[in-house]
Structure 1
Amino acid sequence: MRAVWKGAVTFGLVNVPVKLYSATEDHDVSLHQVHDEDGGRIRYQRKCEVCGKVVDYKNIDKAYDDGEQTVVITDDDLKALPAERSREIEVVEFVPNDQIDPIMFDRSYYLEPDSASSKAYVLLRETLESTDRTAIVQMALRQKTRLAALRVHGDVLMVQTLLWSDEVRAADFASLSEPVKISAKELDLSKQLVESLVSDFDPEQYVDEYQQELRTLIAAKLEQGEGIDTAATFGEEPEEEAGGEVIDLMEALRQSIAAKRESGAGSGAAKSRSGGTKAKKAPTASAEKETKKTASTRKRAASE
């Protein structure tokens, strides 16, 4: 991993030098745009509306338009701002761990000690652990002042940037203001359904099926060419019956509970209790390379 920021966590007279690393990454397959007629790559150009020239990124500044005037803001202007020059993660308060609404979380970063001794880092980590507290901090990152939560994640300290309060929308739905009567029987059946699905969350048992299927599609096209048989590659999709039967809420709950009990009595229940069925693995990089090699060999053979 490459550090995206260097500075120090400060609270009181304590100073903890740290490096900041992105804690997450995107696993999506990278696709680019091409012309549907000839497959040519689509490129975008930054063109000036005044002179018509294509402008290099290094020659592009930012600007604010209030409707009447335009103010140009250069990179030097932004770097001169006091907040941008700060290299501190300033602790402003310590709050109970459960007081931060998850809706406010934005991006996650790991903190690594950046000094010869990690004592101050470990001290802060163990202090947060023993007090069940999260530090609310302020910092400047990528030309923005950030509000963030500094907390313990395993053996490391983590900073999770937070949305500002005015960035979180209120859920104001008129339909929820209307009174709804829930019977005790409906609530009881709903609780039974919940209990039948209770488990411990294991993120590794869930997979991004769309990305897996996309990789399978790419591998199939590399091997078979453009005219692939979708049904042979992915299997037949069962047709949905039109005009399904409309049932009431109570009946839906009863059927859901019955279906869960029935599945629990079979062999599927044992698999579910042991962690669920294993997800199909997406084609590995080596498999895709082998597929490309096969496709390339076939193309050469065809041309000969």
Structure 2
Amino acid sequence: MARPVWTGVLSFGLVSVPIGIYTATDSHTIHFHQLQRGTSDRIRNRRVNERTGEEVDLDDIVKGYDTGEEYVLVEPAELDDIAPGRSKTLEISGFVDLAEIDPIFFDRTYYVGPKGKEYTKVYALLEKALAKAERAGVATFVMRGREYLVALKAEDGILTLHTLHWADEIRDPREEVPDLPAASGRGTGSSREMKMAEQLITALGMRWDPEEFRDTYQDKVSALIKAKGAGETVEKAEAAAEATNVVDLTETLRASLERARGGGRRARGGGRRKAAASGKPLDSLTKAELYERATAAGIPGRSTMTRAELAEALTSSDSEAA
């Protein structure tokens, strides 16, 4: 059973319920230690006084703000004394349509649960009311020495808390990203190219199913570690696709559209037999050719597969079709 990362009181109007906030996601990133090349010696990060070179104990460290002329020193306890919401309250300021919150504002997600069975009625009431209204509660609260702006929403019978970026943390893309097209839309291509691009998007439409996707890079890192430990080598990834030449844009769009439409038709009927009957053995095909066959066969999850996984999936698909 997970431990809450924050406990306190959730209030809306004059109604309040003790809650716990729990981490909703987990990272499967493979972590490495740092070693000195040619040895098995660990590299450690230490807190060192840059003047004396001596290591400093954590209890002897204070925060310092550089004014340009000197440091203003601040003790951790002083930060706690001025923190808003020290009463451990998450008070909802109001309710908004979730669609009004731009996705760029969302940061992390947490689960919210009642702190005790005697509070489940109030908890369930708020969850069901939010679900029916299709709205999210907006609030601020303090966790681990930091104030957060959050959105509270109902999802499949549970309340979830989504931390949001503050408005002044969102950078203006026009100031940050060079070479963006004009906001007026000029220079985005001919009307024919635009129509073909829209048709391509429609042809490549799919139902969102997160289970079809997986972190293949971490799989490859695991395979690399296993192979190196056994003194073996692994297949290198293919080079990235070359940028589309603007001169060939129309022809590239047409070819993409034909492939997408053809793959869709074949996937709905008889495509597996066509894919299997093209002559070449699977082990002689490039990853791009295998992917094209997988598209024709309607194989799910193909966009995240390695070359070997595509070949294996096609072999299974051909066997089922036979």
TM class, shorter-chain normalised? 0.7 to 0.9
1:200 is matched with 207
1:295 is matched with none
Give the partner amino acid of 1:259: R
Q: Return the offset for 1:160.
A: 0.7
Q: Secondary structure at the match of 2:32?
A: coil
8 Å CA contact retained: 2:181, 2:188: no
1:239-279 per-position Cα deviation (integer Å, ceiling 9, x unaligned)? 7899998752211110101222343423245753x634497
1:258 is matched with 258
Matched, 1:164 2:169: no
C-alpha distance in structure 1 between counterparts of 2:161 and 2:138, whole Å: 9
Matched, 1:176 2:181: yes
1:286 is matched with none
| Matched residues, number | 273
1:83 is matched with 84
Q: Could you list the structure 1 runs, at least 4 aligned residues long, displaced by more than 4 angstroms after superposition.
A: 236-247, 277-281
8 Å CA contact retained: 1:78, 1:84: no
Q: TM-score, normalised by structure 1?
A: 0.81
Q: Secondary structure at the match of 1:149?
A: strand
1:187 is matched with 194
Q: Secondary structure at the match of 1:135?
A: strand
Q: TM-score, normalised by structure 2?
A: 0.77
8 Å CA contact retained: 2:128, 2:157: no
Q: Which moved more, 1:58-67 or 1:127-136?
A: 58-67
The verdict on how the C-alpha distance between 1:280 and 1:126 changes in structure 2, with shifts beyond 3 A counting, is: same
1:119 is matched with 121
1:161-212 per-position Cα deviation (integer Å, ceiling 9, x unaligned)? 1111000011215642373264332222112211111111111111212111
Q: Secondary structure at the match of 1:43?
A: coil
8 Å CA contact retained: 2:112, 2:159: yes
The verdict on how the C-alpha distance between 1:75 and 1:84 changes in structure 2, with shifts beyond 3 A counting, is: farther
8 Å CA contact retained: 1:205, 1:278: no
The verdict on how the C-alpha distance between 1:174 and 1:217 changes in structure 2, with shifts beyond 3 A counting, is: closer
C-alpha distance in structure 2 between counterparts of 1:23 and 1:280, whole Å: 27
1:140 is matched with 142
1:209 is matched with 216
Unaligned ranges ≥5, structure 1: 282-304
1:31 is matched with 32
C-alpha distance in structure 2 between counterparts of 1:243 and 1:207, whole Å: 26
The verdict on how the C-alpha distance between 1:241 and 1:62 changes in structure 2, with shifts beyond 3 A counting, is: closer
C-alpha distance in structure 1 between counterparts of 2:193 and 2:243, whole Å: 26
By relative contact order (CA 8 Å, sep 6+), the higher-ranking structure is 1
C-alpha distance in structure 2 between counterparts of 1:257 and 1:251, whole Å: 10
8 Å CA contact retained: 2:213, 2:301: no
Identical aligned pairs, as a percentage? 33
C-alpha distance in structure 2 between counterparts of 1:70 and 1:217, whole Å: 47
C-alpha distance in structure 1 between counterparts of 2:25 and 2:241, whole Å: 41
C-alpha distance in structure 1 between counterparts of 2:180 and 2:197, whole Å: 21
Q: Secondary structure at the match of 2:44?
A: coil
Root-mean-square deviation (CA, aligned residues, Å) is 2.7
Give the partner amino acid of 1:60: I
8 Å CA contact retained: 2:111, 2:160: yes
1:88-112 per-position Cα deviation (integer Å, ceiling 9, x unaligned)? 1110011112100010011111101
Matched, 1:57 2:82: no
8 Å CA contact retained: 1:271, 1:277: no
C-alpha distance in structure 2 between counterparts of 1:161 and 1:96, whole Å: 16
